Amino acid sequence: MTAPIKELNLKGKIAVITGGSGLIGSTMAKALAVHGVKTAIIGRNLEKTQKLADEIKSKYGVDSIGVSADVLNRSSIEEAKKIINSKLGKIDYLINGAGGNSATATSKVEKIQEGDKPEDTIFGLLEEGFDS
C-alpha cells in the first residue's frame, strides 16, 4: 500500500511537467504545487507555460517557471534542462504529459533487443535526458 500524498513530504522538491500547459499537465502541476513542489512547466508555447507558472506562484506561493521546449527535439530538451537547473535547481521528478512522443526522437532504438546498449534505448534517458 502506498502512503497518502500528504505523508510524502514533497515540499521544496522540483518537478518538471512536459505538456504542462495542457489540461492533464496543468492539473498535475497545480496538484503538486498544493504540496509545495516547485514546478517547471514545459510546452511549445512559452506564453501559455508562463501564464500557468504565474498562476501557480500567485495561488500556491511556490516557485514555478514556464519553459518553451519541444519534447521531440533533443537539443530543445537539453536547453530546457539548463534553464530549469539554473532557475530552480536539481530536478527531482519528471512527469511526461506531452502528447505525440516518439521514442526515436531521443533514443536510437524503439524496442529493446538482445545486445542493445541501455544508453541507446528509451531506458537510457536517465543518462541522456534529465539527469541532474
Domains of the chain, residue spans: 5-101, 102-132
For 8-65, the pLDDT digits (tens) are 788 999 999 999 988 899 999 999 999 999 999 999 999 999 999 999 999 999 999 9
Q: Could you tell me if 30 and 21 are in contact, meaning their C-beta atoms sit under 8 angstroms apart? A: no
Q: How confident is the model at residue 121 (pLDDT cuts 50, 70, 90)?
A: low
Number of other residues whose CB lies within 10 A of the CB of residue 59: 12
Cα 13 from Cα 91, distance rounded (Å): 8
pTM value surpassing 0.85 = no
Please, what CATH class does the domain formed by 5-101 belong to? alpha beta
Number of other residues whose CB lies within 10 A of the CB of residue 23: 9
Cα 85 from Cα 97, distance rounded (Å): 20
Q: Could you tell me if 34 and 60 are in contact, meaning their C-beta atoms sit under 8 angstroms apart? A: yes
Q: Could you tell me if 104 and 117 are in contact, meaning their C-beta atoms sit under 8 angstroms apart? A: no
